[in-house]
Amino acid sequence: MKLAYWMYAGPAHIGTLRVSSSFKNVHAIMHAPIGDDYFNVMRSMLERDRNFTPVTISSVDRNVLARGSQEKVVDNITRKDAEERPDLIVLTPTCTSSILQEDLQNFVERASLEAKGDVMLADVNHYRVNELQAADITLRQIVQFYIEKARKGGTLPEGKTEKPSVNIIGISSLGFHNHHDCQELKRLMADIGIEVNEVIPEGASVHNLKRLPRAWFNLVPYREIGLMAARYLEQEFGMPYVDITPMGVVETARCIRQIQQIINQQGAGVNYEGYIENQTLYVSQAAWFSRSIDCQNLTGKKAVVFGDNTHAAAMTKILAREMGIHVVWAGTYCKYDADWFREQVSEYCDEVIISEDNGAIGDAIARVEPAAIFGTQMERHVGKRLKIPCGVIAAPIHIQDFPIGYKPFLGYEGTNQVADLVYNSFTLGMEDHLLEIFGGHDTKEVITKGISADSDLGWTKEAQAELNKVPGFVRGKVKRNTEKFARERGLAEITVEVMYAAKEAVGA
């Protein structure tokens, strides 16, 4: 048992549902107690989906527990098959119902006899993997299912597309800025003369999955979702894949160069250097911004980065390489893929942190007192309490990650967005915090030890007045540094004198 207050990655079934519901005309049946169908709310509310979420709960209650669930699950699958004629029905338990250890594969087989569409059980170990891993697994499973089906039916198309082409793999429902990223990637591909063969799973039809091998290569923009499918396709068809996240000017260029190499190996004969140079120097504002006087003022400022592997790694590189910002530590909650993260960021930060414990992350932030944080909604909140601005760069997903306007993180437009985010975080961050995004659930008395802002030290009236003169966005820091100074010297009261002594001592 562990005492948990917050989780960065959700449970496995969320990942499965994110993938299944991204496809067009795929329905999921969730075999679970009634309170577990919260996914529908997230889809409907966060994505502002106009359609009913293609997920139906086949609820497990006392009756079902007593009588066994087979009949009910099979009924619900065949019923949905008849009602909406989905191409595919994916059955998934949640971690709760998977404890029942039923033979769900058998349920699926029985339902398949009657259903017109395909039926499959999401093959995920709910005890062992989280949302991101499950999404990756489910996507591979669905791809494999349809490739094998086509192979058996002899409908697998032969050969490649005439022009160089790509499958973009891993764009999914409830993904962090996925829709805008996808648009930007399509634009990028169009710019460099590459046709988009398929985008999966978002908006894709399972019938088209057999066409995947026709593309010249696969692009997997996110480390978390899509790699398994890409590796499967590589293994089956020898399809190469590019897994460099095109985020930031340098990595976008590296991604394009790898694409160039891959398609040239297949006889394309392209040279993208001119394009990269033009985009970098004249189209994207990010490179210019890095040289501009605005950014000069950011040089050497301290920042910390935390998020999923994809975004935390990319952000660390951008800050360190492209903006000259000092990344004190970079961290990820993707514990299962920690080696990759370490390898990616080690040279760009002083310390690497791998943790799923939001408390530990909060403490790590408090410990280094950075000038800005780039993290998840959780770190944003920590920042709010420490009065440190925070730019949100990664899931857990939040309504703010579904802006109405165009805000990609990838590609050249993404570089502009990220530059804005960085600049605003360092300068305007504090104003943003006034927005009170989380609606006042914050009860004042409860503050963890690690990031405690309350003090046991007395401030004289004058010192307090002096403190109040300090601009809001550094006040917390001055206060903490002064108190630290006083505590170290065993002073019980903080006077104006102590304050200024502290300022001199620690440069607060």
Partner 1 sequence: MIAQPEALNFECETGNYHTFCPISCVAWLYQKIEDSFFLVIGTKTCGYFLQNAMGVMIFAEPRYAMAELEEGDISAQLNDYEELKRLCTQIKRDRNPSVIVWIGTCTTEIIKMDLEGLAPKLEAEIGIPIVVARANGLDYAFTQGEDTVLASMAARCPDRSPVAEAEKDERNAIAKLLNFGRKKEEVAAAEAEYVNHPPLVLFGSLPDPVVTQLTLELKKQGIKVSGWLPAKRYTELPVLEEGYYVAGVNPFLSRTATTLMRRRKCKLIGAPFPIGPDGTRAWIEKICSVFGIEPKGMDEREAQVWENVEDYLQLIRGKSVFFMGDNLLEISLARFLIRCGMTVPEIGIPYMDKRYQAAELALLEKTCHEMGVPLPKIIEKPDNYNQIQRINELNPDLVITGMAHANPLEARGVSTKWSVEFTFAQIHGFTNTRDVLELVTRPLRRNNSLKGLGWEKLVQEEAKV
Q: In the complex with ligand SF4, which residue's Cβ is closer, 96 or 264? A: 96
Main-chain phi, psi angles of 218, to 5 degrees: -110, 140
Residue 36 near partner 1 by CB under 8 A: yes
Residue 127 near ligand SF4 by CB under 6 A: yes
Q: In the complex with partner 1, which residue's Cβ is closer, 63 or 297? A: 63
Q: Which residues, listed in sequence order, are joined to residue 373 by a DSSP beta bridge?
A: 304, 390
Contact 136, 124 (CB under 8 A): no
Closest contact distance (angstroms) between CB of 98 and ligand SF4 is 6
Q: How does strand 372-375 pair with strand 302-307?
A: parallel
Closest contact distance (angstroms) between CB of 300 and partner 1 is 31
Question: Would you name the residues annotated as active-site residues?
Answer: 294
Closest contact distance (angstroms) between CB of 149 and partner 1 is 24
Residue 464 near ligand SF4 by CB under 6 A: no
Residue 76 near partner 1 by CB under 8 A: yes
Stretch 436-475: interaction string toward partner 1, x if CB under 8 A: --xx-xxx--xxx---------------------------
Q: In the complex with partner 1, which residue's Cβ is closer, 95 or 268? A: 95
**If we measure between CA atoms, which residue out of 418, 398, 399, 397 comes closest to residue 407?**
418
Main-chain phi, psi angles of 23, to 5 degrees: -65, 155
Which 359-388 positions form the footprint of partner 1 (CB under 8 A)? Answer: 378, 381, 385
User: Which range touches ligand SF4 (CB under 6 A), out of 33-41, 181-189, 435-443, 450-458?
Assistant: 33-41
Residue 37 near partner 1 by CB under 8 A: yes
Closest contact distance (angstroms) between CB of 448 and partner 1 is 6
Residue 95 near ligand SF4 by CB under 6 A: yes
CA angle (36 as vertex; 31, 39 as ends), nearest 5: 100
Closest contact distance (angstroms) between CB of 246 and ligand SF4 is 32
Closest contact distance (angstroms) between CB of 82 and partner 1 is 11
Residue 403 near partner 1 by CB under 8 A: no
Residue 36 near ligand SF4 by CB under 6 A: yes
**If we measure between CA atoms, which residue out of 282, 307, 319 comes closest to residue 412?**
282
The listed partner (partner 1, ligand SF4, none) that binds 57, CB under 5 to 8 Å by sort, is partner 1
Work out which of 67, 71, 82, 99 binds partner 1, going by CB under 8 A: 99
Q: In the complex with ligand SF4, which residue's Cβ is closer, 129 or 304? A: 129
Number of residues that bind ligand SF4 (CB under 6 A): 10
Residue 45 near partner 1 by CB under 8 A: yes
**DSSP helix/strand/coil, 115:** coil
Closest contact distance (angstroms) between CB of 20 and ligand SF4 is 18
CA angle (235 as vertex; 229, 240 as ends), nearest 5: 75
Q: Could you give the residue ranges of the DSSP H alpha helices within 238-308?
A: 249-265, 273-278, 286-291, 293-296
Distance CA(206)–CA(226), nearest Å, equals 16
**If we measure between CA atoms, which residue out of 44, 68, 49 comes closest to residue 58?**
68
Question: Is the bond leading into 201 cis (omega within 30 degrees of zero)?
Answer: yes
Q: In the complex with partner 1, which residue's Cβ is closer, 358 or 482? A: 358
Torsion of CA 131, 133, 134, 137, to 10 degrees: 160
Distance CA(175)–CA(431), nearest Å, equals 27
- The string of DSSP codes covering 50-104 is SSPPSEEEEE--HHHHHH-SHHHHHHHHHHHHHHH--SEEEEEE-HHHHTT---H
Closest contact distance (angstroms) between CB of 443 and partner 1 is 6
Q: Which residues, listed in sequence order, are joined to residue 196 by a DSSP beta bridge?
A: 166
Neighbouring residues of 96: CB distance < 8 A, sequence distance ≥ 6: 32, 33, 36
Which conformational region is residue 248 in: left (phi greater than 0), alpha (psi within -120 to 50 degrees), or beta?
left
Q: In the complex with partner 1, which residue's Cβ is closer, 56 or 481? A: 56
Contact 183, 206 (CB under 8 A): no
Q: Output the six-digit token pair for 360.
A: 């530990």
User: Which range touches ligand SF4 (CB under 6 A), out of 31-39, 75-83, 253-261, 489-497?
Assistant: 31-39
Residue 44 near partner 1 by CB under 8 A: yes
Residues that bind ligand SF4 (CB under 6 A): 11-12, 33-36, 95-96, 126-127
Residues that bind partner 1 (CB under 8 A): 1-7, 10-11, 13-14, 32-38, 40-45, 48-53, 56-62, 65, 76, 83-84, 94-97, 99-100, 127-128, 130, 358, 378, 381, 385, 396, 438-439, 441-443, 446-448
